[in-house]
Amino acid sequence: MSRKKTVDDYLIDTLHWQDELMALRRILLAAELSETMKWGMPCYISGGQNIVGMAGFKSYFGLWFHQGVFLSDPRNVLINAQSGKTKALRQWRMSSANDIDAALIKAYIAESIEHARAGKKVPNAAPRKLNMPSHLQSACKVDPELKIAFDKFRLAQQCDFADYISSAKQDATKQRRLEKIIPLIKSGIGLNDKYK
């Protein structure tokens, strides 16, 4: 997936949920948020702070409230898509145009802006530490080209590769995962780049 430079480009290439995302966009722009692209998705800002983003995927489209953990969420529509990992971000997933409740979305945006102005923010977590799994460590020793390519990645990307292997329980799975990521590493492609 190539990175889009503008929201218009993003919407043109998101055919499956294009009408729904355009409806969300109208609501977000009416809330007087500034529109930009971050992390390959439309992001809406107030006072220099990220408030909400939107995106479309295969089975749903939705909104991402950057400090959504502080929202009162009276309709219980927000979820933490990565419990244990995501601290502040909350998603509002929708699967049809009927799920778009403009009044409720505006209320959530207004509350988010209030929290941003009040300075409510979950502090950044401590930087990750690289725990190199033995499979990846051995492969880097045997293949200097792999080691050089791996070292070019940012620490967070290195940790993504290492965690991907380490999270497998069986040795055979760890080996399959290693074989899967070696071409990515050598090509300079991060494990999660497809989501950007």
Predicted confidence pLDDT, tens digits, the chain (196 residues): 456 689 988 988 887 899 999 999 999 999 989 999 998 899 999 999 999 999 998 899 999 999 999 999 999 999 998 777 778 899 999 999 999 999 999 999 999 999 999 988 877 666 778 999 999 999 999 999 999 999 999 888 999 999 999 999 999 999 999 999 999 999 999 887 765 5
Measure the CA–CA gap between 147 and 74, rounded to whole angstroms.
50
Residue environment code for 121-155, b if the CB has 16+ CB neighbours within 10 A, otherwise e:
eeeeeeeeeeebbebbeebbeeeeebeebbeebee
Write down the pLDDT at residue 1. 44
SS3 26: helix
> Would you say 28 and 109 are in contact if contact means Cβ atoms under 8 Å apart?
yes
Q: Report the side by side order of strands in the sheet with 34-38.
A: 34-38, 41-46, 49-56, 61-65, 90-94, 78-79
Write down the pLDDT at residue 125. 62
Q: Which residues contact 46 (CB under 8 A, 6 or more apart)?
A: 32, 33, 34, 113, 116
Domains of the chain and CATH, by start: 7-117 (3.90.1150.200), 134-195 (no CATH)
Return the C-alpha torsion angle 63, 66, 67, 72, nearest 10.
Answer: 0
Q: Hunting for tokens 């109208």 — which residue is that? A: 26
Measure the CA–CA gap between 114 and 38, rounded to whole angstroms.
22
Percent of the chain with pLDDT over 70: 95
Measure the CA–CA gap between 126 and 113, rounded to whole angstroms.
26
Residue type (1 letter), 46: S
Q: What are phi and psi of 79, to 5 degrees?
A: -130, 155
| 0.85 surpassed by pTM | no
Copy the structure tokens of residue 32: 């007087």
